[in-house]
A and B are shown apart, each in its own frame.
Chain A
Amino acid sequence: MKTQSKRFEIIADQFLLQLQHLRTFFQLLADELYYTGQYLIKKRGIYPGEIGKQFFFMAYKSFPIVCLITFLVGVTISLTSAAQLKLFGADIYLSWFVGIAMLRELVPLMTGVILAGKIGASVTAEISTMKVLDEIDALKTMGIIPEKFLMVPRLIAITLAVPLLVAIADFVGIFGGVMVGRYFSGIPPESFIREMLNIVSLKDFFIGLVKTMIFGWAIIISSGFKGFFVKKGAEEVGRATTESVVLSISLIILLDCVFAFFLYF
């Protein structure tokens, strides 16, 4: 009897702790929105030139891998669907499928996952290292708000980098589809594109863009959340970094599911 109530207590404590974490996460999110707005109005509180530096880092660092991955995904998904469509003699509809799937779903998802692994991990590693080395404390006693100084440039930079990455990824992913259409299903590229434009519109591009943007913000907030709450010790940096990637990817998939409901339900 006694052990049972003890067990219950442990579960309850765990639950409360998780609730506490959830609150901290949303608190950070609200703070960051506030600080970003405040920066955009007053142009103060972050280091001059930092946005450009972060933008360059984010766009440049993830550009090659985003291209490679979306091309491969484009090819894979096209081959899979082309094989099925062949059975019905509906080869030409490959372009519809690839266009919609890439723009709306696969590019946002893959770009999000890559950004989580590349940018999110490095943001968490950087911030948690700063925390462990007292740099965050040093910022505070210099009268600087670390949550603004470190996070706002990254949030703005990812907002600027995402459209670029999405546009390139869309292009490369569809190019993968065109290749498969050409060499596997014998669809000439012109017909592929013409057929695709019948159904794919700018709206699809923007849906994908907005989704990726929100994934990007989720990644930066999650990374900051995991980075700032490291207490001490270098070994915690590694753990926080891993956790931040897991959290970002889980959030991306959760948000994606929510979007799907809003778009199609």
Chain B
Amino acid sequence: MDIITVSDLDVGYGNATILKKLNFSIPKGQVTVMLGKSGCGKSTLMKTLIGLIPPLKGDIFFSGEKIDFLSEESLHSLYKRIGVLYQNGALLNSLNVYENVALPIRMRQESLKREKEERAVYQRLSQVGLGESLEKYPSELSGGMRKRAALARAMILDPEILFCDEPSAGLDPITSSGLDELLLDLKQTLGMTVVVVTHELRSIEKIADKVMVLREGEMHFSGKYEDLFSMDDAFIETFFLKKGRNHD
């Protein structure tokens, strides 16, 4: 079953179209990976799917319901169902790590008891390996730590769909593979749908159920991971060979 479907979607800013004529769907309870060269519009597409940038053309359906970008109500019910890890983390600089991760709880479930909040926050932070850095402020963290704290914040309320923009960029291979395990675990135990933008061949191999490749303003490939290499496609081959070589 598909949780998101888009039809004839053009995305971009104002009069600059970045990606056009997109038709794809995101299967429920699976991991979908988006890839493409830097600057090809992956983050823009993700921001469109999560209701932040109105599409230039076409519609987005969440569980069969069309997102109405003009209606606050429609957007808010969408926001309730998603968790988002932004490309640069987007933690609030005025709050420390603990407070950042607890923010969605404090703003949405005000009645939650303090101990329950603490337990949830500790659990998420130790899952991303930040159990020790609760009191630190974002400016005192490395890029990779900020990303991981932001991931903890994105999943604190167990959203139906988790969007991750380059979660493992800037991480060492061990931490990065730990994050892959975590995403798989969320999928398996909670049935969470995960949408990931990533370039890491290793993690794509490990986590991807479905792959979408963006190229030159269009969807170049969209389908099962297994079918990706059977296509015999020059772009995909160079993309992966180049990436692969960088890592080995």
Contacts and interface: CB of A to CB of B under 8 A. Distances in A.
Interface of A: 44-45, 47-48, 130, 133-135, 137-144, 149
Given A137-B47, A141-B82, A142-B103, 15 more contacts: A44-B110, A130-B93, A134-B88, A135-B90, A135-B92, A135-B93, A137-B86, A137-B90, A138-B90, A138-B92, A140-B79, A143-B80, A143-B104, A143-B107, A149-B107
Contacts of A144: 103, 107
Contacts of B27: none
16 contacts: A45-B107, A47-B103, A130-B92, A130-B93, A135-B90, A135-B93, A137-B86, A138-B91, A138-B92, A140-B52, A140-B79, A141-B51, A142-B79, A142-B104, A143-B104, A144-B103
Nearest to B110: A44
A141 B161 CA distance: 12
A53 to B, nearest CB: 8
Contacts of A141: 50-52, 79, 82, 84
B113 interface: no
B148 to A, nearest CB: 15
Contact of B86 (A45, A48, A138): A138
A133 B110 contact: no
B92 A143 contact: no
Nearest to B77: A143
A139 B108 CA distance: 12
Contacts of B50: 141
Nearest to B95: A47
A52 B80 CA distance: 29
B76 interface: yes
Nearest to B13: A231
A133 B90 contact: yes
Interface string B95-118: 100000001101110100000000
B127 to A, nearest CB: 19
Contacts of B84: 138, 141
Nearest to A45: B107
B86 A143 contact: no
Interface in B52-75: 52
Contacts of A130: 92-93
B66 to A, nearest CB: 19
A1 B182 CA distance: 68
B179 to A, nearest CB: 19
Contacts of A137: 47, 52, 86, 90
A130 B80 CA distance: 22
Contacts of A44: 110
A48 B95 CA distance: 12
A157 to B, nearest CB: 14
Given A137-B47, A137-B90, A142 B107 contact: yes
B203 interface: no
B5 interface: no
B87 interface: yes
Contacts of A139: 92
A79 B86 CA distance: 59
Most buried by B among A134, A137, A149: A134
A216 B108 CA distance: 31
A133 B43 CA distance: 13
Ranked 10 nearest A-B pairs via Cβ = A138-B90, A134-B90, A134-B86, A141-B84, A135-B90, A143-B79, A142-B104, A141-B79, A137-B52, A144-B107
Nearest to A48: B106
Most buried by B among A44, A133, A139, A141: A141
Nearest to A46: B107
Contacts of B52: 137, 140-141
B167 to A, nearest CB: 15
Contacts of A45: 107
A48 B104 CA distance: 13
Contact of A134 (B76, B87, B95, B108): B87
A113 B86 CA distance: 38
Nearest to A138: B90
Contacts of B80: 143
Nearest to B157: A142
Nearest to B159: A141
Interface string B168-189: 0000000000000000000000
